[in-house]
Amino acid sequence: GQCRVRIEGESERVFLFVATLGYSRRNFVCAFRHERQSAWLTGIEAAFAHFGGRPQTLLIDNARALVERHDRVRRHVHLNPRFEAFCRHWDVAVRVCAPFRARTKGKTENGVGYVKKNAIAGHAFESWAALEAHLRGWMRQVADVRIHGTTGVAPLERFAQERAHLRPFTGIGSFLHTRELVRRVNAESCIELDTNAYSVPWRLIGETVTVLVQGGTVSVEHAGKEVARHARLSGSRGRSIQRQHLFGGCRESWQPSRASETAPAALLRPLADYEALIGGGW
């Protein structure tokens, strides 16, 4: 949600990211100057770190940075491909609210209103850093320990039970450190990255794919689905080829076969050799 906040004496538009755990109703809040996709992904990862783990499912609204469209006929939601890759990276499922029905994620909608009224209204800040520090303190000193109007229990108290159901957050690198590139699959069923070649299924020759590079891994996606994964090559002009990608396509690296090397010589044999083989002449 967005609101106007007085920062350094000026009224500034602030976008509030609010994440709410389903059982404890514990909130995480952070502020951004925009609501582009990078803010959403940064906010979600910061929430995982704050709670000390990942939930099984994310319930999200229909922000354009996350959702491309709803197919009402097929009852299918088309997620933004990068957000879909983000969810695969963190191994979380996604549920999307029905359009114009924020009630389906009321815990968060109510949370945004609560933050605006309780944490922001009537406050002015000397700097953006002061706003961020205020929100961190407000979460610890107010939001976590208040008696929640629905549960009748302080969120931090219920979180003691919920914590055991969150999956580990540490040990998985940030998705935000991932390089994302667009490549076209060449005639050899490969994409090129930093002068190295990586194979993809041959049926994608000529197609445009998304390449995600994180640490030592290169993954290739097409139509929102991962189609290839390779260990990243450290040198230059190398080739990482998986044979299952090449059925119907090209060989790993073309080399003359023994048949191609010997065929010309065989064609030059004298006719007498063939007569001896079949047992006589015409």
Q: Please give the pLDDT value at position 248.
A: 56
**Confidence band (pLDDT; 50, 70, 90) for 101?**
low
Reported confidence tier of residue 178, pLDDT bands at 50, 70, 90: confident
pLDDT tens-digit profile of 213-242? 987 899 999 987 889 999 999 888 999 999
Range(s) of the domain holding residue 225 = 178-246
Q: 108 and 182 in one domain? A: no
Question: Is the domain of 212 the same as that of 74?
Answer: no
Number of structural domains in the chain: 2
Give the E-state strand segments of 21-158 in sequence order: 27-32, 57-60, 67-71, 76-79, 93-96, 124-125
pLDDT range class, residue 43, cuts 50, 70, 90: very high
As a whole number of angstroms, the distance between CA 28 and CA 12 comes to: 21
Give Dmax over CA atoms of the chain in angstroms.
Answer: 109
158 and 216 within one domain = no
Q: Are residues 153 and 25 in the same domain?
A: yes
In a domain, residue 7? The reply is yes
Same domain, 158 and 218: no
Q: What pLDDT is recorded for position 271?
A: 42
Clarify whether residues 36 and 103 are in a common domain.
yes
Please classify residue 195 by burial: count the beta carbons closer than 10 Å to its beta carbon, then call 0-12 exposed, 13-18 middle and 19+ buried: exposed
Residues 82 and 211 in one domain: no
- Local confidence band at 13 (pLDDT 50, 70, 90 cut-offs): very high
Question: Based on the domain organization, do 159 and 189 belong to the same domain?
Answer: no
Residues 106 and 159 occupy one common structural domain: yes
Query: Do 120 and 17 lie in a common domain?
Result: yes
Q: Are 75 and 146 within one domain?
A: yes
- Residue 251 lies inside a defined structural domain of this protein: no
Are 183 and 161 found together in one domain?
no
